[in-house]
Amino acid sequence: MKKAVAIIVGLVILFVLVLFSMTYSVGFNQVALKSHFGKVDASSIIREPGLHFRWPFFADSVTTYDKRVQLLETGEENLQTTDGLQVVVKAFLLWKVDEEGEGPLHFYQSYPEMMDARAALFSQFRDAVSVVSEYEFSDLLGPSSTLDEIEGQILKRMQASVAQGVKPVSAGVSRILLREKTTTQVIDRMQAERNTLAENERARGEAEAERIGSEAQTIRDKIYAFAEQRAQEIRTRADERGARYLEEMSQDEELAIFLIWIDTLEKALAKNTTVILDTDFAPWHLMKAEAPEGGLEIPQPDAYMNPIDAARPGDDAEDDSKPLSRADQGS
């Protein structure tokens, strides 16, 4: 009885071992490659997740690869830029197994294990990061940084150098450090650049101010010339009108003088006014109570200057300012 039980237990264990050797599972994040007596082809790629069967023992062997994105980082690499500055660069690479087409098969032929792929990619990635040495320091940091372009160049180098079955996804620079000596040089250079920019801006501001001043001066001169021309035109018209007015008044000087006196008197007495004046001078002599001799004769002041003669240009001032006496008025 005991012997029968032992045989049954042995058969069960053997069945379990055979069943275990005939099955394998593929995770949702994995791709598998099944080789038959060490031979593989495109049909050996297993992409469907779940439980699968194979020939037991050593007839078929299965290798699985994680198809998720993998992270690879370099150490702190000392590099020198084209302008002679020492920088410490740390970079990263995102890559994965190329699961399209025969990608898993090519990966299996190049790197039997994932660790083998990481070791090879690490060496290749360090060489690709050296592209930083082809740029100046200002291309790495600052407003004119071309870091995106540098990272693109690193990714292109990796895509050209990796073996089939490996797909680089992204590459980037995660850290840039400066040595103490480099820091001092960078600060001095930045100060010099800022001084240059300040001088350029100051020169441009002065040039702009000079341009605005010159433009304002030109506009002012144009306005001044126009105003002078307009004023001259107004003066010319005024002289012409004044000449015609004087010519008309000269036809009867006494009447014109009398009208001027009346007009002046009306303007002076336009409002309630109390005036104490000497009536010997025009036009206040018109307020004398006595009537002039001769009836229709225009009354004359004791002394006055002929306003028409005074208004005539070019006449002798001595003749215009000579007062008329009562004897002259009577003649």
Kindly report the CA angle at 118 between 114 and 121, in degrees rounded to 5? 135
Residue 86 confidence (pLDDT): 82
Question: Which structure tokens are listed for 305?
Answer: 């200057």
Neighbouring C-alpha atoms within 13 Å toward the C-beta of 117: 27
In this structure, are 204 and 123 located in the same domain?
A: no
Reported confidence tier of residue 323, pLDDT bands at 50, 70, 90: very low
Tell me the β-bridge partners of 167: 96
Residues 102 and 153 in one domain: yes
Residues 165 and 184 in one domain: no
Q: 179: buried, middle or exposed (CB in 10 Å: 19+, 13-18, 0-12)?
A: middle
> pTM for the full model?
0.51
Can you tell me the distance from the alpha carbon of 276 to that of 303, in angstroms, rounded to the nearest whole number?
A: 18
DSSP string across 274-302: -----TTSTTGGGG-SSPPTTSSSPP--S
Q: Mean pLDDT over all residues of the chain?
A: 78
The reported pLDDT for the residue numbered 7 is: 75
pLDDT at 271 over 50: yes
CA distance 197 to 82: 23
Cα–Cα distance for residue pair 206/199, rounded to 1 Å? 10
Residue 98 sits in a domain whose CATH number is 3.30.479.30
In this structure, the chain runs to a length of: 331
By the 8 A CB rule, do 107 and 98 touch?
yes
Residue 284 and residue 323 in one domain = yes
The partner residues of 50 in beta bridges, in order of sequence, read 26
Using the 3D structure, point to which of 251, 268, 293 is the last residue of a domain. Answer: 251
End of a domain among 119, 144, 178? 178
Domain that holds residue 43: 2-66
Mean pLDDT, rounded, for 31-52:
80
Q: Which residues contact 297 (CB under 8 A, 6 or more apart)?
A: none
Q: What are phi and psi of 325, to 5 degrees?
A: -85, 170
Examine the domain organization and report whether 54 and 101 are in the same domain.
Answer: no
Q: Kindly state the tokens that stand for 123.
A: 């060496």
Find the distance separating the first CA and the last CA of the chain, reported in whole Å.
Answer: 186
**Would you state the pLDDT for residue 35?**
81
Mean pLDDT of 138-161: 87
Those residues with Cβ within 8 angstroms of residue 103's Cβ, 6 or more apart along the chain or in another chain: 97, 164, 165, 167
| pLDDT tens digit sequence for 82-108 | 888 888 889 999 999 888 888 888 888
Average pLDDT over residues 137-149: 84
Strands 70-73 and 86-97 come out as antiparallel
**Same-domain pairing of 171 and 101:** yes
Cβ density class 9-24: b for 16+ within 10 Å, e for less = eeeeeeeeeeeeeeeb
Same structural domain for residues 173 and 93? yes
Q: Is the pLDDT of residue 320 over 50?
A: no
pLDDT in tens, 48-57: 888 777 777 6
Q: What local confidence, expressed as pLDDT, does residue 311 receive? A: 53
Confidence (pLDDT) at 219: 93
Residue 145 has pLDDT above 50, yes or no: yes
Distance from C-alpha of 37 to C-alpha of 65, rounded to nearest angstrom: 20
Comparing 30-34, 132-136, 294-298, 323-327, the range with the smallest average pLDDT is 323-327
Reported confidence tier of residue 294, pLDDT bands at 50, 70, 90: low
Last residue of a domain, one of 128, 144, 178: 178
Whether residues 75 and 174 fall in one domain:
yes
- 283 cis-preceded (ω within 30 degrees of 0): yes
Residue-wise pLDDT for 182-200, tens only, equals 667 667 777 887 888 888 9
Cβ-based neighbours of 184, under 8 Å, separated by 6 or more = none
Beta bridge partners of 52: 24
Instruction: Give percent above pLDDT 90 in the chain.
Output: 21
Same domain, 75 and 143: yes
56 and 96 in a single domain? The answer is: no
Contact assessment for residue 41 and residue 105, using Cβ atoms and an 8 Å cutoff: yes
Domain identity same for 169 and 212: no
Number of domains in the chain: 4
- Domain shared by 200 and 244, yes or no: yes
